[in-house]
Chains A and B, each alone.
Chain A
Amino acid sequence: MRRASLKKEGKVVHQTSPEIGGMGHSVKRKEDLRFLQGKGNYVDDVQLPDMVFGHLVRSPYAHARLKSINTEKAKQLPGVLAVITGEDLAKSNLAWMPTLFFDKQMVLATGKVLFQSQEVAFVVAEDSYIAADAAELVEVEYEELPVLVDPHKALDPSAPILRDDREEKSNHIFHWEVGDREATDKAIQSAAVKAEVHAFFQRCHPAPLETCGCVADFNRATGRLTIYLTSQAPHAHRTLFSIVGGIPENNIRVISPDIGGGFGNKVPIYPGYVCAVVASLTLGRPVKWIETRSENLQSTGFARDYHMTAELAAGADGKIQALRVKTLADHGAFNAAAQPTKFPAGLFSICTGAYDLPSAFCEVDGVYTNKAPGGIAYRCSFRVTEAAYLIERAVDVLAQELKIDPVELRMKNFIPPDKFPYKSPLGWSYDSGNYAETMKVALDKVGYQELRKEQAEKRKNGELMGIGISSFVEIVGAGPGHTFDIAGIKMFDSCEIRVHPTGKAICRMGTKSQGQGHETTYAQIVAQELGIPAADVTVEEGDTDTAPYGLGTYASRSTPVSGAATAMAARKIQDKAKKIAAHLLECSADDLEWEPGKFSVKGAPSKSKSIQDIAFAAYTNMPAGMEPGLEAVDYYDPPNLTFPHGTYICVVDIDRGTGEVKVRRFVAVDDCGNIINPMIVEGQIHGGLTEGLAIAFMQQIDYDANGNVQGGSFMDYLLPTAVETPHWETGKTCSPSPHHPFGAKGVGESPNVGSPAAFVNAVVDALSHLGVKHIDMPIAPWKVWNILKEKGVVN
């Protein structure tokens, strides 16, 4: 029972020394040494001899027929090497490419364009300035077509059919439903109390610090194609490039160097990548293509854009009986969602949240509109953020209907700790958790009762103060291969560990860090399992020529899946090390006991061999008949997903004069099971909360009636700075995952998943006495001010 015995009550049993730096140590991030010195190596840092540069010509129209493209003037500009159009690609059957979700997407437009900023032509030139200038010289004649912006009108008979390439002449993409419709309808019909909320989770964009880009380098002599790529999933991308491009997979090497943030934005394959590859194949020279900020915001994977309705049915006692959810998903021009193939709405069916509901039913319809394609999972495990936001909003509305405290309502309905593993009405098996305990820690930390008293006092004086609670549940770590795959490839992940003769090690992974600190945390897992100091373990990711195959980093899956593979590979090494130790100590392996870093003979602790001694022996003095070396690889297919959870409490004050919301306090208590590196977890939570703040108050990719992007630059799509960001107060509880090798659950996405509801609930709570039940994000001051005006609070 090694898995269970590693941690008890959330405490690390084998606590390693700080020198070893295993689980639970706040080891400083190894990668920061180069990042903080400006010595990172990003795709745009790649310089190759003879390299040339690509630039995309994009459509100004949201929906228009392409009448003609004149590339002559562009081609005449000195330094221009090629101008590629959709018609050129069509000759090699590359004008369209498959998306990650059973749809196809235009690489370069043929026939018509379907969203503003769509890729129309690709210019290649000796330098990036010439390429950009030449792109201006490409003359495109368009004929405007009626534009479809509102997804609610997508299925109207009068709506233009956007995708005339499809057999089905409709803007409808999919209908998906799960749960017991009949029982749910019945429960809602006969409910004593009902609550309903229409919540629009606006279209957002991850806006990573580094935009997307690539350098495609086809070597005509060797026939090998090397692609330096901003990729969260380099192995899967290599396979897709091979299948779509018809290039033998052994002749493709994808290298993801340092990645400056991904958040799901770097999971899809973008037309610019394909164009650069085609250009390199054509010219036989390396081609670099790097997006501008506006291109990134306007054309690459957006997130959310879910128009959701939730209805809750409850008894007069506040026990929730049923949840019914109906959602309209706006996918833009192509369904370029990156999610497991059995789940067109991702893991949205986690929408019953932390609550023990007898019945639930959830249905989602996806439609096309004249907007950029998506939607990807922005720092979230496939639509979990939308689900968490919806249920946490709905529960607050129900508390309003019942006129009881939202904490009391939650406590009354939490899944009790003794019900785990818990089978949810929408089909998930929650691994572990103690929601009430986490809630209590958060309430104590924030001083909930005092805050409620203060709020009551302030209301008497007409001051606006609100307290918002979100007790969210996540579902991460996809996933069991029997249920989860991306484009057919099972969602396992991998780790290969090689221990060198001197006892140092290298660890290669199927995942790819985009800033999460993998070089430190994976090393700590090896340190924990083998006792080799984390400082002596090099972690390498992102090179498909050297790393074992894996599905990459997104959906908080690195720790639950690759982290597990690391532990399992290390345990294989430990098993071999034990045999070598027995050989060196001239005893039976059964007589040995392990403590981090060494095997010693039971009852004779002075007779021991360190892992370093053993590593050396593995190459110099192995037992007769044993294979030399000390390495192992593990492909880990998790038995279940993991279910991190938390309670977030937000306190806001609202300026009556301006409608400005000030976040006074924010307490985040997370439960992500056993923690590898507390400092990194803390950093992840700070980052995710800041992104959640931005989503709640500042960010939206909106479109006007003509399909013009209204959030296409940082002028309109706002990022919070230190000025807007409040002080975050964090705390934790620990419910180890029973099925994970070291009880971890993953944490990177929790703060982004859990926080939007806390912010919105706080603002609505501040205005609830005025009859306000819901406000859609982003809650900008003008929205609040308009409400205050409508309610007669301001003139």
Chain B
Amino acid sequence: MQIEKTFQVKEPIDKVWDLLRDPIRVAACVPGAKITEKLDDKTYKGSISVKVGPSVTDYKGELEIVRLDPQLHEIEILGRGQDIRGRGSASMKMTGKLRALDGDSTEVASISEINVIGILAQMGSRVINEVSNIIFAQFTKNMQAQLVQGANTAEAETKPLSATSVAWQAAKGVFRKES
């Protein structure tokens, strides 16, 4: 499943790039995610907890920076994790690209190829899409906050999303589409 997202931040491109190239700071913006260990400059260990309705999946795995192009402001990340209780796995290949806009703003464009196996996958793409929309909305909010406040002061929302709110918002998303 491919998910494309584009958003803008009111910060200059170099400042945004500094954040984007640092998996630890990026992970801090993703609800439920954290980097637990840095193996080398390109490889990290981490986890992410995703709750959809009654289903909690705690993925634990590795993150690899496959490509980093400071000139073009492009990054390619490969992530892969298994649920710690053996409830499935997920992998993601994400390509991120920054583009400077007028007035010291930056456009962040990402294309993610997501592959999910297990109970989450059974929920179907519509639910995964909605969940990823919610995660992404939270992510951009957290990222804005990080950029404004700086890396050290950031107290981003890193708890996993609450089951009810995600399920409810996802459900709303589904029904909105169908009505």
Contacts and interface: CB of A to CB of B under 8 A. Distances in A.
Interface of A: 60-62, 116, 136-142, 144, 294, 298, 704, 706-710, 712-713, 715-716
B85 A140 contact: yes
Dominant SS among interface residues on chain A? loop
B124 A60 contact: no
23 contacts: A60-B83, A60-B87, A60-B89, A60-B117, A60-B119, A61-B88, A61-B89, A61-B118, A116-B118, A137-B85, A139-B86, A140-B85, A141-B86, A142-B82, A142-B86, A298-B122, A704-B121, A706-B117, A707-B117, A708-B116, A708-B117, A708-B122, A712-B122
Contact of A136 (B85, B115, B117): B85
A16 B114 CA distance: 69
B84 interface: yes
B84 A60 contact: no
B99 to A, nearest CB: 33
Nearest to B119: A60
B56 to A, nearest CB: 9
B175 to A, nearest CB: 12
A710 B86 contact: no
Give the interface centre of B82, B84, B85, B122 by most chain A CB atoms within 10 Å: B122
A710 B125 CA distance: 10
9 shortest A-B CB distances, which residue pairs? A60-B118, A140-B86, A60-B88, A708-B121, A712-B122, A706-B117, A60-B87, A139-B85, A709-B122
B85 A138 contact: yes
Interface of B: 82-89, 115-119, 121-124
A103 to B, nearest CB: 26
A61 B122 CA distance: 11
A708 B118 contact: yes
Contact of B124 (A137, A141, A294, A715): A715
B105 to A, nearest CB: 37
A603 B161 CA distance: 90
A61 B87 CA distance: 8
A144 B85 contact: no
Contacts of B82: 142
A136 B124 CA distance: 22
A709 B117 CA distance: 10
Given A138-B85, A139-B85, A140-B85, A61 B124 contact: no
Given A136-B85, A704-B121, A716-B124, 9 more contacts: A60-B88, A60-B89, A62-B117, A116-B122, A139-B86, A144-B117, A706-B121, A709-B122, A710-B124
A473 B147 CA distance: 72
B143 to A, nearest CB: 30
A298 B119 CA distance: 11
Contacts of A294: 122
A620 to B, nearest CB: 66
Nearest to A59: B86
Nearest to B83: A60
B103 to A, nearest CB: 40
Contacts of A716: 124
Contacts of B116: 708
A70 B128 CA distance: 29
Nearest to A61: B117
A262 B115 CA distance: 36
Contacts of B83: 60
Nearest to A67: B86
A716 B89 CA distance: 22
Contacts of B88: 60-61
A714 B118 CA distance: 17
Given A712-B122, A713-B122, A716-B124, A706 B85 contact: no
A198 to B, nearest CB: 27
Give the interface centre of A60, A61, A136, A709 by most chain B CB atoms within 10 Å: A60
Nearest to A138: B85
Contacts of A138: 85
A108 B119 CA distance: 19
B88 to A, nearest CB: 4
A716 B122 CA distance: 9
Contact of A139 (B84, B89, B117): B84
Contacts of B119: 60
Nearest to B174: A715
B176 to A, nearest CB: 16
A716 B84 CA distance: 27
Nearest to B84: A139
Contacts of A116: 118, 122
A137 B82 CA distance: 15
Contacts of A136: 85
A716 B115 CA distance: 19
A715 to B, nearest CB: 7
A144 to B, nearest CB: 7
Contacts of B115: 706
A141 B87 CA distance: 9
Give the interface centre of A294, A707, A708, A716 by most chain B CB atoms within 10 Å: A708
Contacts of A62: 117
Contacts of A715: 123-124
Contacts of A142: 82, 86
Give the interface centre of A61, A138, A144, A298 by most chain B CB atoms within 10 Å: A61
B119 to A, nearest CB: 6
Nearest to A712: B122
Contacts of B117: 60-62, 144, 706-708
Contacts of A137: 85
